[in-house]
Structure 1
Amino acid sequence: MAIRRILTVNNPADLAVLKTVCTPVEAVTDDVRALMDDMLETMYDAPGIGLAAVQVGDTRRIVVMDLGDGGEDGEAPESEDARKPNPRFFINPEILWASEETAPYEEGCLSIPEYFDEVQRPARIRLRYLNRDGETVEEEAEGLYAVCVQHEIDHLNGVLFIDHLSRLRRDRAMTRVKKVMRERVAA
């Protein structure tokens, strides 16, 4: 396993990749599983709770996620130390249905460092994907799980969470990210 570089919106070449619509995975192979292992290690190192393959420069429709124990009911763990790992793997995920009811959630993104903003998304969804073993799974999601799945599927479609914001808030996000990245380079 290896930690990979996470692409960020402040780099024009990275942004071009992040805006790519990803291609379906033909078959779940050892290569795909190795990529997912690298993605999981990268996500934990960042730290984050979800990561799409495109965020590490691979344009296949692959997502890893870990909301810890209990994250699926919409409740985030009280602290990082209290979390028990619960890694999830999504290959070719798709949303089959979304509720008309929406819910706000403050989102962040490893590709948009240290910027958080509220996004309205469907409160519940039904999704289908292939798991790590290549088996088809269909399930419903709500709360944090639904938000995270929708956020990561957006990545696979070339959409960033800031694309759901007003132009003013998007510009504010980009300004903030550029400042954060300059500070990281200077440190």
Structure 2
Amino acid sequence: MLTMEDIIRDGHPTLRKVAAEVVMPPSEEDKQILSSLLEYVINSQNNEIASKYGLRPGIGLAAPQINVSKRMIAVHVTDEKGVLYSYALFNPKIVSHSVEKAYLQTGEGCLSVDEAIPGFVPRYARITVKGINLNGEEVKIRLKGLPAICFQHEIDHLNGVMFYDLIDKQEPLRPIDGATAIER
């Protein structure tokens, strides 16, 4: 089981690398790594388990965050209607996105970043993601709201991008023109 000890922190070189594609079909080791990412996110949202093991709660985790530079992400998040999006994906790609932007009103956080970094992170309001699940099946997911933001944050990790790279350095808390503010 992954714990906070396994998560590398800001400044570690792996977080700035472009992660390698996972060769299909995935090895047993890669399947185990991907399963453990999803297990962490689910466990971190369970108050009892999280407090027992000192897990910081998260809604997504990417393989580079545990020092594995491969294209794997796990997301476990509910949208504003309470619909659960729980996915563990190999080689996820954003295949289409809206012109319209969105951002989290509270700003974003990251399990690899220990301090709060205030600022609005511009994201696409709607995206479509394709990837391969643990059963080797291609999935195509249409997302909006918090799930869309979460997937973009995790896919950025696969490209060596940190959320704070996208914050306006001059005016971090200036609302983003024409973008929808999403409450968490």
Q: 1:85 Cα deviation (Å)? A: 7.9
8 Å contact 1:22–1:157 — kept in the other structure? yes
Which segment drifts farther, 48-57 or 31-40? 31-40
Distance 1:62 1:150 in 2: 13
SS of the residue corresponding to residue 113 of structure 1 reads: coil
1:48 matched to 2:58 = yes
Question: Which sections of structure 1, spanning at least 5 residues, go unmatched?
Answer: 78-83, 171-187
Q: How much does 1:119 deviate?
A: 1.1
Cα RMSD (Å) of the superposition?
A: 2.3
Q: Over residues 141-178 of structure 1, what are the superposed CA-to-partner deviations in whole Å (9 max), with x where a residue is unaligned?
A: 111110001000000000000000133678xxxxxxxx
Write 1 or 2 for the structure with the bigger share of helix: 1
Query: Could you tell me whether the CA contact under 8 Å between 2:60 and 2:74 is conserved in 1?
Result: yes
Partner of 2:181: none
Equivalent pair of 1:8/1:113 in contact (CA under 8 Å): yes
Pick aligned residue for 1:65 from 68, 71, 75: 75
Moved more, 120-129 or 25-34: 25-34
Task: List aligned pairs for 1:14-163, cutoff 5 A.
Answer: 14=12, 16-27=13-24, 28-43=26-41, 44=44, 45-67=55-77, 71=78, 74-75=79-80, 87-105=86-104, 106-116=107-117, 117-163=119-165
Query: Structure 1 residues 30 and 150, CA, compared in 2 at 3 Å: closer, same or farther?
Result: same
Is this contact kept in 1: 2:95–2:128, CA < 8 A? yes
Q: Name the SS for the 1:109 alignment partner.
A: coil
**Aligned residues of 1:76 and 1:144 also touching (Cα < 8 A):** no
Moved more, 159-168 or 142-151: 159-168
8 Å contact kept, 1:104–1:118:
yes
Of stretches 133-142 and 57-66 in structure 1, the one that deviates more from structure 2 is 133-142
TM-score normalised to the size of structure 1?
0.74
- Residue 115 of structure 1 and its aligned partner are, at CA, apart by 1.2
Q: Is the alpha carbon distance of 1:164 and 1:136 closer, same or farther for their aligned partners in structure 2, counting shifts above 3 Å?
A: same
Equivalences, count: 155
Q: Distance in 2 between matches of 1:110 and 1:163?
A: 16
